[in-house]
C-alpha cells in the first residue's frame, strides 16, 4: 500500500495536487484501498474509488483541470491494464451495427426524469454556445440557431438530424425556420418523448441506425452523435451522409474532438457512461471526408462545454432529491464524477468541441462562415 500511495503522490505532485491537502482541488482519502484500486485499474479504479466514497475533492472539476494541464492523465496511462485495453482496440470493433442500440439502452434510456432535471428547457444534450448567452437556456437556443444559420436553412427545406435526441433541434428548426425535419435516434425513450414534444410539427422520429437510412435531404446535421460511431466506421458514416445529401446541401457535424488520434475512449467512461464511445481527431475526420466533401468551415468552441457541463451539474445537483430514491447514492457519485471530470478536461483544453460545415466535393458554392 505504501508503494502505491508513494507512486500516486509523485504523480499528483506534478499537477500541484496534495493528498489530504486543504485546497479545493486537493484529494482527501477516506479509505486507503483507493491507492491499490487506482494503481491496478487506472482510470477505472480512479472513478470506482470515487463512486465508493474512498476519496473526495471539494472541487472535482478543478482537480481534473490540474491533472490535465500537467498531463498526468497521459503519464498515468503507462500501466498493464491500459496497455491491455489499448491492444484490445485492434480486435474490438466499436460502432458496429450490432452494437448500435447499446448506447441507447445503457445511457439515453436511463430515464427522461433524469435528463429533464439536468438539461435546458428544450432538453438539448450537446454543448451550448455561450458567446452572448448568460443562461443555459439562452446558450442552447443560440447553438440551435447557429446551426440553422450555418446551413442556410430556409422554410420548406427537409433536414435530417442524425442522433436527434429528444428533438430539440428538430422542434427549433420547425418552429423558427419552417423546416421539415427527420430525426434518427437509437433510444426508445428519446423517440417517445420527442414525438410528444414535437406533436403537430412536421417532424418525424425514426428509431433507426444511420446505416438503415433512406431518402434524400436538403441538409443534414449530426449534433453530438459522431462520438458513438467508432474510428473504423468514420468513412462509412461519411459515405452514407454523402449519398443522402442533395447536391446543393450542407452537412454540419457537431462533435467533441481530440488533439491526437485514438482507437478507444476513456476506460471509466466506456464502462459506466458511454459504451463504445470515442472522440475523433482532425486527422481521422480529414481522412474520412476525402473525395467526398469540401470543408467549408471548422469552428472550435470547446471552452463552452465547460460552462455547459457545469450548468448541467448545477441543475442535476439542485434537483437530485426529486429522483434520489429511484437512482441511489452510488449513481449520484457516478454522475457527478462524469459531469465534473468532463468539465475539467474541457477547461484544461484536454478536449475540444467542433462544428464542421461540409459541402459535396466538386459542387460549386460560395460559403461564408457564420459565428
Residues tagged active-site: 342
Strands (DSSP E) along the chain, which ranges? 28-29, 55-56, 158-162, 180-185, 203-207, 219-223, 250-257, 293-300, 352-360
Place of cell 464542421: 356
Count of beta carbons in the 10 Å neighbourhood of residue 244: 18
- The CB density around residue 189, as the number of other CB atoms within 10 Å, is 17
Among the listed residues 160, 152, 361, 355, the one whose alpha carbon sits nearest the alpha carbon of residue 247: 361
**What is the Cα–Cα distance from 323 to 328, expressed in whole angstroms?**
8
Q: Measure the CA–CA gap between 187 and 109, rounded to whole angstroms.
A: 6
Question: Which three cell numbers mark 237?
Answer: 458514416
Distance CA 39, CA 358 (A): 44
**Rounded Cα–Cα distance for residues 147 and 357 (Å):** 9
Which H or E run includes 23?
A: none
Distance CA 237, CA 229 (A): 8
Contact partners, residue 286, CB within 8 Å, separation at least 6? none
Q: For 308, how many CA atoms within 13 A lie in the half-sphere containing its CB? A: 27
Q: In what order do the strands lie in the sheet with 293-300?
A: 203-207, 180-185, 158-162, 219-223, 250-257, 352-360, 293-300
* Residue of 169, 186, 68 whose CA lies nearest to 123: 169
Distance between CA atoms of 111 and 266, rounded to whole angstroms? Answer: 24
* Range list of β-strands (E), 135-271: 158-162, 180-185, 203-207, 219-223, 250-257
Determine the 3-state secondary structure of 358 from DSSP.
strand
Amino acid at each position: 500500500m505504501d508503494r502505491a500511495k508513494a507512486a500516486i503522490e509523485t504523480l499528483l505532485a506534478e499537477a500541484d495536487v496534495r493528498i489530504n491537502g486543504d485546497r479545493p482541488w486537493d484529494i482527501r482519502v477516506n479509505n486507503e484501498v483507493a491507492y491499490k484500486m487506482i494503481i491496478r485499474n487506472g482510470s477505472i479504479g480512479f472513478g470506482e474509488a470515487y463512486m465508493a466514497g474512498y476519496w473526495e475533492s471539494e472541487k472535482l472539476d478543478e482537480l481534473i483541470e490540474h491533472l490535465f494541464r500537467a498531463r498526468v492523465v497521459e503519464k498515468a496511462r503507462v500501466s498493464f491494464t491500459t496497455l491491455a485495453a489499448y491492444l484490445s482496440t485492434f480486435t474490438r470493433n466499436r460502432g458496429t451495427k450490432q452494437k448500435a442500440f447499446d448506447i441507447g439502452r445503457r445511457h439515453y434510456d436511463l430515464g427522461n426524469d433524469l435528463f429533464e432535471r439536468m438539461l435546458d428547457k428544450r432538453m438539448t444534450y450537446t454543448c451550448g454556445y455561450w458567446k452572448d448567452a448568460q443562461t443555459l437556456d439562452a446558450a442552447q437556443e443560440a447553438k440551435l440557431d447557429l446551426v440553422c444559420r450555418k446551413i442556410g436553412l430556409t422554410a420548406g427545406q427537409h433536414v435530417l438530424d442524425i442522433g436527434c435526441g429528444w428533438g430539440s433541434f428538430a422542434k427549433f428548426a420547425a418552429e423558427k425556420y419552417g423546416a421539415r425535419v427527420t430525426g434518427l435516434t437509437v433510444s426508445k425513450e428519446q423517440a417517445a418523448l420527442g414525438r410528444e414534444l414535437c406533436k403537430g410539427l412536421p417532424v418525424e422520429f425514426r428509431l433507426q441506425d444511420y446505416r438503415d437510412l433512406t431518402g434524400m435531404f436538403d441538409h443534414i446535421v449530426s449534433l453530438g452523435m459522431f462520438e458513438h460511431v467508432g474510428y473504423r466506421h468514420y468513412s462509412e458514416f461519411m459515405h452514407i451522409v454523402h449519398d443522402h445529401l442533395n447536391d446543393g446541401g450542407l452537412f454540419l457535424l457537431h462533435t467533441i474532438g481530440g488533439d491526437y488520434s485514438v482507437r478507444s475512449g476513456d476506460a471509466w467512461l466506456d464502462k459506466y457512461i458511454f459504451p463504445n464511445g470515442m472522440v475523433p481527431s482532425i486527422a481521422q475526420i480529414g481522412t474520412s471526408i476525402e473525395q467526398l466533401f469540401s470543408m467549408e468551415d471548422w469552428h472550435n468552441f470547446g471552452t463552452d462545454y465547460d460552462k455547459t457541463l457545469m450548468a448541467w451539474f448545477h441543475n442535476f445537483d439542485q434537483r437530485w432529491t426529486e429522483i434520489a430514491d429511484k437512482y441511489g447514492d452510488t449513481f449520484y457519485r457516478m454522475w457527478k464524477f462524469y459531469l465534473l471530470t468532463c468539465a475539467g478536461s474541457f477547461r484544461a483544453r484536454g478536449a475540444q468541441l467542433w462544428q464542421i460545415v461540409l459541402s459535396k466535393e466538386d459542387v460549386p458554392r460560395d460559403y461564408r462562415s457564420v459565428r
